[in-house]
Amino acid sequence: MKKHLLGLAVLVMITAFSFSIVGAQDEEAVEALPSCSPEDYVANVEAIGEAFTGLGELTTLPEAPTASDYAASVAILDAFAVGYWEGFDPEAIACAEELYIGQTAGIIFDELVIVNALSALAAHEETAGNTEYAELLLEQATARGEILQAELEDFGATLTSLIDGEEVELDVAYPACTEEELTATSEGLTTINETYAEFGAALGEGLTGTDLTDLVTGFAALSQGYWDEFFTVLPACFEAQSLGYEYGLLLDESLITVSLLRLAELEAEAGNAELAQVLADSALAHVETLTEMSEALLGESEEE
């Protein structure tokens, strides 16, 4: 079952990326969405605020949490994030602020899962005596956590400005890319995809133990480097921004998947069969999500 799951994940990931680089090049620029009415975005802000409050209550840890307590928290966070994305339909969004709030909140929820998964893995590796892995995972979790905190503060400030009726400039509509911009974006993604393909091939070998932890840290570095160094310098045009956003989500989805696989393995070794099964089921659900993402990208390329 595990080897089948890993093999399926690899096939889905590589297929998604091979078509994503080609698929967006003939897309037309998206029309600018109108600004939301104050009533619309106030309702959205309130809904997101309630979601964050509820999430904090669900993931409260005991005073002296164990590695398994952290892992259980990851399972809760992941279920929440998955549920959020299942209910998020960008095609049903009619105004700019709502799109911004919806997309930003989703990325933040995913990042919460990633930071907590890396932290849980660090705790597990420390318990197992794998100090070097524990330190690297904790370092990655801390770095991403600091960035996440800054993003949360910026997001909160933007929401406050919207509620107060202040004018907020949101980058949610772009002109069509030029040929030069398309070429630069495609070349950059191709370079990143070479590293991703190497990770995918390694995943297909059915890695276990700290070999799988190595893969988690590799995906974490690739994902963080992508968002920090590549996505931030993408051309400000529709095809590049659209493809770049989807590519980043796929990287994060892949990181979450391998993290859940490793956590499931560790919890099984610790004798926590029920939690291990929950985490394994979550990993399988993410593989299915990757399948849907790849099919959407493939569909776009075929239509064009």
Every domain of the chain and the residues it spans: 30-303
List for the chain the helix, strand, coil content (%; round to 5): 80, 0, 20
pLDDT bin (cut points 50, 70, 90) of residue 300 is: very low
98 CB-near residues (< 8 Å, 6+ apart):
36, 40, 41, 44
Q: Rounded to whole angstroms, how far apart are CA atoms 141 and 243? A: 26
205 phi and psi, to 5 degrees?
Answer: -80, 0
Q: The pTM is what?
A: 0.84
Instruction: Say what the pLDDT of residue 100 is.
Output: 82
d(CA 132, CA 113): 22
- Average pLDDT for residues 32-59, to the nearest whole number? 73
Q: How sure is the predictor about 30, in pLDDT bands with cuts at 50, 70 and 90?
A: very low
Task: Report the pLDDT value the prediction gives residue 173, as an integer from 0 to 100.
Answer: 67
What's the pLDDT score for residue 149?
A: 92
The CA distance from 161 to 157, in Å, is 6
Largest distance between two CA atoms of the chain: 56
Residues 101-134 pLDDT 10s: 888 888 999 999 999 999 999 999 999 999 999 9
- Distance, in Å, from the CA atom of 132 to the CA atom of 144, rounded to the nearest integer, reads 18
Q: What is the pLDDT of residue 238?
A: 85
Query: Residue 297: its pLDDT value, please?
Result: 55
What digits encode the pLDDT tens for the residues 149-205? 999 899 888 888 877 777 777 665 678 899 999 888 888 888 888 888 788 777 777
Distance between CA atoms of 253 and 32, rounded to whole angstroms? Answer: 28
E strands in the chain: none
Whether the pLDDT of residue 52 is over 90: the answer is: no
Q: Is the pLDDT of residue 25 over 60?
A: no
Minimal CA–CA distance to 280: which of 254, 299, 262?
Answer: 262
Average pLDDT over residues 229-246: 89
pLDDT band at 31 (very low <50, low <70, confident <90, very high): low
pLDDT value at 71 more than 70:
yes
Output Rg (C-alpha) for the chain, integer angstroms: 20
**Quick one: what percent of the chain has pLDDT higher than 70?**
83
Mean pLDDT of the chain: 81
Which range (30-44, 95-109, 218-232) has the least confidence?
30-44
Proportion of the chain above pLDDT 90, given as a percent: 40
